[in-house]
Structure 1
Amino acid sequence: MNKMGEQMNVEQLFHKSWFRPTSLSTIAMILYLPVGICLFVIRVFILLQFFLMALLLPPSKMRQKCLQVMAAVLGMTVSAEGDPGPCRGRVFVANHITRLDHLAIHVVTSALKPALGAVPYYLLQPLALTASSLDNQTQESIEASEASFVVFPEGETTNGDVGMLAFSAVEIPNGINLQPVAIKVSRHWFNTSSVTGGLLNELLIFLFLPNTHFSLRFLPVEVVDNEGLWKQRTQSAIAQELHLTATKLNASDKAEYTKKLFFRPPSLASMARAVQQQLSPQILSPEVILAALQQTGSAEGALEYLRQNRPSSLGTAGIPAASTFSKNATQRMMSFQERKRLMIASARQRYIEKHELQITA
């Protein structure tokens, strides 16, 4: 049994982008680009025929053969090893690499993936989905069903290179025949998946590239006897077959990683402008606002601090704020100098923000 990988970092399980930035792949991609565009346009029209075939043909071996041929024309080739056996009333459990994994399993086994949300009934069959859910079914209803199910307990896609997420997103009733499926995906020039893309990105890549190959390995059938044990046992079996590490990371860890990957903290200048807008019409010097931001660390904290300790008429170092005006010529000149300093400091902060400069105090 494969050892659970507790020390693996979450970023090792995902690709940050679709394209592989190597000089050879870049040159090959440029040369292939005209062919890929033509292929994409042709496949868009063929996709409608695939949709109609999947919608109109009744379940049969002939339908499976037709779907496999049409899928290959669209850029998805599938090879299968092992014995899927009689698929009726069975639940196929697989690792998750692309959002179209269930289609690769469907063209071989006719298994349907439970739809996560509300999907129009006329789209269910062409998309290899079913409105039924394993959560509200019993062992008897699943075994009596004409269809079989395919589920992805990881809950999220991975790159399929080094490890698997923990099985935590699916519950299967006890006594159900469960068959693990190990999936490998390969394609030219592009990674198999990316944290930056969704279903539309994957579909465009499928139609553009010459081929995306799915290799399915059907493992021996198991019987679900304990909900806690089957998850770890099945995850380890698939990971061992694919030479991957069965980790304890889950879909929530991927969500946190994605959030950190794309989170850009607001700049000091933008927070200063936000604070000044909240304090309007009174204008404070940038030094006062920046000092409050550096002391509190956030726009909300700086705003609260300035409201509690708001300078009544003075800016930094005893200089009158720009909003005050005096009949005294000296004070008017000081007010002018303060406004000038305010404009220069604001322009400086906008320049720093625009060019993303790192300026230390």
Structure 2
Amino acid sequence: MANLEAKHLFAYNRFPDNELKKLLVVAYFPFGVILLLLRSVLALFLVIFGQVLPDTQVTQNFLYNLACICFGITVSVDNLKQKENVSVYIGNYLSILDHLAVSKALGFILPLNKTPLQSLPGLGITNLGSINNADSFKKNLEVVLKNKNTSVYLCPEETPTNGRALLKFNSKYFEFFEKVQPVCITVKRPLDIAISTIGSTYINDVLYFMYAPFTNYTIKLLPSLEKKSISTDGFSEIVRENIASELKITASPLSASDLLEWSKRYLAEERRRAQERTNQLSNSFSSASNPELVRMAAQVKEVLPHVPVGTIYNDLNVTRSIDTTITNILEGRIRFVPETPRPSSPTPSTSQQPSTSGCTSSSTPSRQGACTSSTQFNTGASTFGKSANERTKSIKERKEQLIAAARRRYIEKHNLDIPV
């Protein structure tokens, strides 16, 4: 199976593109809102009980069941008899509430990854710190395993995906475990409402857990694996290959940091495009309410047809001067992507004169001036400067010639009574 790129491991839309399913989503909307409100009340009780109840096994079982009801989580286990007495379960990462489903299926298990429920003391979730601080992490882990007498659940991918591939595991976790049991998780929702989307926050994802009819987790346990004399990297890769093979997905060479970097670039580009659309819309409103600006922009566009109208509008909004805007464009003070000028359609001739583009002796003075200007519109330096000062001077001279030529063309085109 070919390796997937980072862009293939994100969901971009919360709702499906299928037209029939869109209609079903619209029909479900009022029921979803009612369900969201009811579950929000239960979530309020969950927060209150999680703050005031003691951290005991009975409390944890009660709160985890209440949390599953609040978030509409249902769980089915394919082979519960495969469960072994291990201290660590390793699974693929699909959502921020995976650990709730695993705990509901296998009994209370302490999640090592971040979760929005870790601020509730009654749930018994302990923050072990960053894996990058190995000594502190190991010490906290030993204390938790000894005092709580419970197993832990870990997603070494470290960031959720859409489930199409398995990210590279952070092998640092496997330094502390000699025996683990892999867990394969799949998640489905009615109406194909996405579990998470690129750029979504914890709050957004939790709200959609409460909005959806339910979220069904299917859990399958694989035989446990022992590290023995295998290296840490080799052991983590063996565990990953076992999970990927069972799920029939790709074991991707990408890591969580790769996905994070790609998503940052994607979201930055989306914000830039949204800003451009906003600017274009504001320019449209501005041009509609300011006919003078439209006239000025059209005249600049005639002189510099390769410059986008939006760019011209933006600068004219500041300068309010045709000459200044043309100067800014020619001197490179404004960045833009040049447009390809549309070729002008040929005008049918009304006479049989052979010359249609050249200048004749019977041309009007203004026409002769235009022809002279077009033939003399050459800003190239006659020689290449030998020194840097000469080349800089040559560039400045050509800039001045470009500005003068553009001004001359503009004056001649509109027959303005202004000295050239």
Fold match, TM over 0.5? yes
Consecutive unaligned residues of structure 1, counting only runs of 5 or more, are 297-304, 321-328, 335-361
Residue 177 (structure 1) shift:
3.3
Ranges in structure 2 where 5+ consecutive residues have no aligned partner: 277-306, 339-391, 409-416
Cα distance in 1 for partners of 2:9, 2:188 equals 16
| Residue in 1 that maps onto 2:222 | 219
Q: Is the 8 A contact 1:272 1:289 kept in 2?
A: no
Q: Which residue does 2:43 correspond to in 1?
A: 47
Shift of the 238–59 alpha-carbon distance from structure 1 to 2, 3 Å rule, reads farther
Q: Distance in 2 between matches of 1:295 and 1:72?
A: 54
CA apart distance, 1:206: 0.9
For residue 105 of structure 1, report the CA deviation from its aligned partner: 2.3
Q: Which residue of 2 aligns with 1:185?
A: 187
Aligned partner of 2:405 among 292, 313, 317: 317
Counterparts of 1:1-361 in structure 2, within 5 Å, are 7-55=3-51, 56-60=53-57, 63-64=60-61, 67-68=64-65, 70-72=67-69, 74-80=71-77, 81-82=79-80, 83-86=82-85, 90-107=87-104, 108-114=106-112, 123-125=119-121, 129-133=125-129, 135=134, 136=136, 137=138, 141=143, 143-146=145-148, 147-160=150-163, 162-168=164-170, 170-189=172-191, 190-225=193-228, 226-262=231-267, 263-264=269-270, 283-285=324-326, 287-289=329-331, 293=335, 309=396, 311=399, 315=403, 317=405, 319=407, 330-331=418-419
Amino acid paired to 1:283? T
- Report how far residue 187 of structure 1 moved: 0.6
Render the CA deviation track for 1:319-358: whole Å, top value 9, x for unaligned. Answer: 28xxxxxxxx733xx6xxxxxxxxxxxxxxxxxxxxxxxx
Q: Given residue 132 of structure 1, which amino acid in structure 2 is its aligned partner? A: L
1:134-155 C-alpha deviation (Å, 9 max, x unpaired): 5321585565342433222112
What is the identity, as a one-letter code, of the residue corresponding to 2:169?
A: F
Contact kept in structure 2, 1:111 and 1:128, CA below 8 Å: no
1:56-75 deviations in Å (ceiling 9; x for gaps): 15432674266225513541
Partners of 2:237 and 2:224 in 1: how far apart? 15
* Higher-RCO chain (CA-CA 8 Å, sequence separation at least 6): 1
Aligned positions, number = 308
Q: Is the 8 A contact 2:168 2:254 kept in 1?
A: yes
Q: Among the aligned pairs, what percent are the same residue? A: 21
SS at match of 1:79: strand
1:340 maps to none
How far apart in 2 are the matches of 1:157 and 1:130?
A: 20
Match of 1:358 in 2: none
Alpha-carbon separation, structure 2, partners of 1:254 and 1:151 = 19
Q: Could you say if the C-alpha distance between residues 314 and 69 of structure 1 is closer, same or farther in structure 2, counting changes exceeding 3 Å?
A: closer
Give the partner amino acid of 1:330. Answer: I
Local SS of the residue matching 2:90: strand
Which secondary structure does the structure 1 equivalent of 2:175 belong to?
A: coil
Indicate if the aligned counterparts of 2:74 and 2:217 stay in contact, CA closer than 8 A. Answer: yes
Aligned equivalents of 1:61 and 1:205: distance in 2?
28
Cα 1:330–1:27 shift into 2, 3 Å: closer
Q: Secondary structure at the match of 1:194?
A: coil
User: C-alpha separation between the residues in 1 aligned to 2:167 and 2:145?
Assistant: 28
2:290 corresponding residue in structure 1: none
Give the letter for the 1:208 counterpart: Y
User: 3-state SS of the aligned residue for 1:149?
Assistant: strand
Find the structure with the greater CA-based Rg. 2
2:171–2:233: 8 Å Cα contact kept in structure 1? no
The structure-2 alpha-carbon separation of the partners of 1:174 and 1:60, relative to structure 1 and needing over 3 Å to count, comes to: closer
- Superposed CA RMSD in Å reads 4.1
Kept after mapping to 2: 8 A contact 1:152/1:170: no
Evaluate the alpha carbon distance shift between residue 71 and residue 120 of structure 1 in structure 2; reply closer, same or farther with a 3 A threshold.
Answer: closer
- Secondary structure of the residue aligned to 2:418 is helix
**How far apart are 1:258 and its partner, in Å?**
2.3
Call closer, same or farther: CA 1:62–1:23 in 2, change over 3 Å.
Answer: same
Specify the SS of the correspondent of 2:240: helix
Q: What amino acid is aligned across from residue 186 of structure 1 in structure 2? A: K
Going from structure 1 to structure 2, the CA distance change for 1:69 and 1:131 (only over 3 Å counts) comes to: closer
Q: CA deviation at 1:195?
A: 1.4
Counterparts in 2 of 1:257 and 1:59: CA distance versus 1, 3 Å: same
C-alpha separation between the residues in 2 aligned to 1:213 and 1:128?
Answer: 24
Distance change in 2, residues 1:224/1:27 (3 Å): same
Task: With the length of structure 1 as denominator, give the TM-score of the two structures.
Answer: 0.69
Matched residue type, 2:256: A
Distance 2:199 2:112 in 1: 24
